[in-house]
A and B are shown apart, each in its own frame.
Chain A
Amino acid sequence: MSATDSPAGMPAPDNAGRRGPMAEVFFSLLRSGTFLTGLGIVLFWIACALFGEHFVPYDPLADDIINALAPPSAEHWFGTDQIGRDVFSRVIVGSRDILTVAPLATLLATVAGTALGLFTGYFRGIVDDIISRILEAFMAIPVVIVALLAIVALGTSKTTVIVVIGLSFAPIIARTVRSAVLAERELDYVAAAQLRHESAFHTMFVEILPNVIPPILVETTVRLGYAIFAVATLSFMGFGIQPPSPDWGLSISSNYGMIGGGFWWTVLFDALAIATLVIGVNLAADGVHGAFND
């Protein structure tokens, strides 16, 4: 090497005072009041789902006909329902099913949507046109109709609910991923990968995917809120979680006829529970979105 500008003269890579982009997002989340509030609410419900049964005053499934439809009191804080089950105990443990079904459905939607988005965004052209039109057609059908058809075909089960919601949400995630991939596709590192004869699989999953994680994370948290809402709706309509689960949507469904008789407590607390969980997830999603888009 004749000419040298010495490597010794180069500065050490700048690590001090700078964090990786993901760490940056993490610290910005910890400073976000919106995110922390949302996370607090969600963690509360997760704790209830995991440990609630050890702390609740009554067995959420045990009926007590003599005390049916008792208003809120010192013994029954949220009153009792039409067969005398303790509403408070049922609300506390009622998050168990929704908190397994909704996240799993979201996970399915994310995995399928990411794969579809990478595929359509990477190959573009005719592949993209065909798949995108099919996905759009799919998005036009209401979830409830899909659910009805699926239940007729597959029977009611948690799996059916997960698959139905997961597949209904996948096109929405696919659309977000596709637009991010289309932007990445134009960057020179993709051309550089082609100039190494990399496979399409490698280029999509090793080169492009890590760079589109931020929009995927944001979209996933937003979808989780919708998934919770969708599970509650399907349960309410009888296509979702099945009795005897103390699920909120299901409880509202079996008690809402009582409102006319003035027995508001049989429905109100379950409804509030759904509302807080959805709001909690949405607040967290807002925080995640903000942290990635600062």
Chain B
Amino acid sequence: MTEKAGNALELSDLSVAYRVAGRNRAVLRNLNLTIGQGEAYGLVGESGCGKSTVALSVVRYLPRNGSITGGAISLDGQDVMKLDGEALRRARAESVSMVYQDPGKALNPSLRIGRQLTEIFELGGIAGQAATDRAIAMLNRVRISDPASVMQRYPHQLSGGMQQRVAIAMALANDPTMLILDEPTTGLDATVEAEVLDLIALLRQELSASILFISHNLAVVSKMCDRVGVLYAGMLVEEGSTQDVFNDPRHPYTVALLRCLPRGGQRKDQGRLDTIPGFLPGIGADIKGCAFADRCALATDRCRSELPPLYDLGGRLSRCHYHEQAQALPRATPSDVAAVAKAKSEPVLHVEGLNKTYASHGHALRAVKDVSVSLRPGETLGLVGESGSGKTTFARLLLGLVPPDEGGSIRLEGKVLAPRLDNRTDDQIKAMQIVFQNPDSALNRSHSIRHLISRALKRLAGLRGAALQARLDELIRSVRLTDRHLAVKPRQLSGGLKQRVAIARAFAGEPRIVVCDEPTSALDVSVQAAILNLLADLQSKEDVSYIFISHDLGVVRYLSDQIAVLYLGRIMELGPSEAVFSGPHHPYTEALLSAVPKLDQTETSRIRLDGEIPSATHPPPGCVFQTRCPRKIGAICETQEPPLAEAEPGHSIRCHIPYAELARLQKPAMQAEPA
């Protein structure tokens, strides 16, 4: 890929510091990085390691308290540090483009898409109809099917995927030589993410631009990039071709990061995920020796005193004294779990025909339609589906936060639950608790951790005084917090620790069922692994059942015994986790699985869903999935809604295609995918 004709981007010994509380704190430390012409370079690392700072430094767009304290940046042979105001503006306008994580914030909400796009051409001296034509051509290029009408719309009238396409179109409008993508798909659904990634891959073939691709998602980077650099505490710790780094890592940090991901269909009863102990050094921390030494089980005294150089291992680099042993890194978390023999017992939760209809502008919005599931003690029901599929509404119905329509029933341990929270007994309320997605919203920021958990113990467990204190100690230890975390307010804790507090609070009343609504989606992979282990441990200890909502299929698969796939509020497929994942599955499940970028395979047979999930106010007639279904068989799909039919014992699929036929159609894909 790399041509020898000069590099698109060269960072040499780049150091960047942020001034916090009157002191310069190093964020990037002597970073060397080269991106060749036409190359796609991936930068990975946990949050706080300096990935975005790299992107901002390239165009000298650091926040006001940030400054480049040393080194040089060369863009297409041009020294960025030496550019004056006007030249810098031209470089930003002509040769570099950026696409950010949240397209909703990158687009101006009060200007039409057309105006925002043509503006870029006007800056380049093209105006009027010519600019409009170019803008339409640009939208065509990012595969927007009806560009003329999109030009007339405002950003909020487009879906997230469409917005990101527009943002990419804007970035490509001036035909940049360098394209910086900073977590471009992080906020998107898996199916939309797949589309956007496909688009970027396709555009790469058409354009000459070099790409700096920043992501915390290793699988995405492995799919998109030629070479990859692993950033840790502002230093490059490993660099090499994507193949080499991900399949044969030579730095303990990379090894550990890769082990945190549930891979190859790993499940909770097969072992715990590995974690990375400790935490990333804070910004500006004084680092002697290897930055990762404190968290590395292989570290010796040499690692703690002597900064390892970037050892050249023949076309790849590793900043580890013991790079040849890196893969021998012992697990931080023992894998083995005590095998739990599950007695077949009565369901703890039985939901029958649950519906929820909202009135939306005179139309009925069926957020949840005719959902029936049951859950046994100590088991996990995974809920998957794109956003808008009704996962969270279903969870809120169960909890009584939102009353369901008349007719359905929710039974907890055989007793029918009142639809409204106010009418449920204290025992029923404490039996079903929730861990919310965003701990910043779920934990009251005015209260100390002690107050947050004590209050839950008081209300849910009815404890007072010494008994409360004893249970509090036990509870915080079971989520692996310590006494010193009790005195602080939530904002003083990291995301992972906050989520532990939320879990402790949910477990205060010894619940029978805990709803986990995307509990790890805001967390780094190493923290996610620790939280998933914690949930799995608590489950085997307390025999609690989970309803686990996540868009990350790997995570759902790890924790779930049963899976329900939701689409437009309906269950499309329901069955044991293994059966749903290994197939034959519903075409929608098939598409969801196919959309997930995977680390351990280079290319799969790809099924892509066109367009967006239809509006729930106007669901398509017949099978609701027929408008996007890659395996649609004909008129019957458009006229008749298929029933949720049991294909195998315990495994139901809502599809007109017979089970055997699905098995035949999906056979090649199923073989390619290790179960």
A in complex with B: yes
Evaluate contact between B336 and A2: CB separation under 8 angstroms: yes
Residues from 7 to 21 in A contacting B, C-beta threshold 8 Å: 7, 9-15, 17-18, 20-21
Instruction: Evaluate whether A5 and B21 lie within 8 angstroms (CB atoms) in the complex, with A13-B485, A189-B441 already known.
Output: no
Residues from 403 to 456 in B contacting A, C-beta threshold 8 Å: 421, 426, 429, 432-434, 436, 438, 441-447, 455-456
28 A-B pairs in the complex with CB atoms less than 8 angstroms apart: A1-B478, A2-B336, A2-B337, A3-B337, A3-B533, A5-B275, A6-B277, A9-B279, A10-B480, A11-B282, A11-B494, A15-B492, A17-B20, A18-B492, A21-B491, A188-B438, A189-B441, A189-B443, A191-B436, A192-B434, A194-B401, A195-B429, A195-B432, A195-B434, A196-B429, A207-B444, A210-B447, A211-B444
A-side contacts of B492, CB under 8 Å: 13-15, 18
B292 CB to closest chain A CB (Å) equals 13
Q: Interface readout for B479-498 with A: 1 if CB under 8 Å, 0 if not?
A: 01110110111011110010
Q: Does residue B309 face the partner (Cβ distance < 8 Å to A)? A: no
Q: Does residue B131 face the partner (Cβ distance < 8 Å to A)? A: no
Q: Does residue A4 face the partner (Cβ distance < 8 Å to B)? A: yes
C-alpha spacing A13/B432, complex, angstroms: 30
Q: Does residue B192 face the partner (Cβ distance < 8 Å to A)? A: no
Q: Does residue B399 face the partner (Cβ distance < 8 Å to A)? A: yes
Evaluate contact between A192 and B436: CB separation under 8 angstroms: yes
C-alpha spacing A7/B497, complex, angstroms: 11
Closest to B424 in A: A197
Evaluate contact between B441 and A10: CB separation under 8 angstroms: no
C-alpha spacing A69/B319, complex, angstroms: 90
5 residue pairs, one from A and one from B, having the closest CB atoms: A210-B446, A188-B442, A196-B459, A9-B278, A9-B277
Instruction: Evaluate whether A2 and B338 lie within 8 angstroms (CB atoms) in the complex, with A13-B492, A198-B459 already known.
Output: yes
B-side contacts of A2, CB under 8 Å: 272, 334, 336-338, 537
Q: Does residue B332 face the partner (Cβ distance < 8 Å to A)? A: yes
B451 CB to closest chain A CB (Å) equals 9
A21 CB to closest chain B CB (Å) equals 8
Q: Is the interface of A mostly helix, strand, loop or mixed?
A: loop
Evaluate contact between B446 and A192: CB separation under 8 angstroms: no
Chain A residues at the B interface, C-beta cutoff of 8 Å = 1-7, 9-15, 17-18, 20-21, 187-189, 191-192, 194-198, 207, 210-211
Closest to A194 in B: B421
Instruction: Evaluate whether A4 and B441 lie within 8 angstroms (CB atoms) in the complex, with A195-B421, A197-B429, A197-B459 already known.
Output: no
C-alpha spacing A15/B448, complex, angstroms: 14
Evaluate contact between B433 and A195: CB separation under 8 angstroms: yes
Chain B residues at the A interface, C-beta cutoff of 8 Å = 20-21, 272, 275, 277-279, 282, 295, 332-334, 336-338, 399, 401, 421, 426, 429, 432-434, 436, 438, 441-447, 455-456, 459-460, 477-478, 480-482, 484-485, 487-489, 491-494, 497, 505, 530, 533, 537, 541
Among the listed A14, A189, A194, which residue makes an inter-chain contact with B442, where contact means beta carbons less than 8 Å apart?
A189
A-side contacts of B401, CB under 8 Å: 191, 194-195
C-alpha spacing A13/B505, complex, angstroms: 19
C-alpha spacing A210/B443, complex, angstroms: 13
Beyond known contacts A3-B334, A5-B533: 7 more, CB 8 A cutoff: A5-B275, A7-B477, A10-B482, A11-B494, A195-B429, A196-B429, A211-B444
A142 CB to closest chain B CB (Å) equals 37
Closest to B496 in A: A10
B-side contacts of A1, CB under 8 Å: 478, 537, 541
B118 CB to closest chain A CB (Å) equals 35
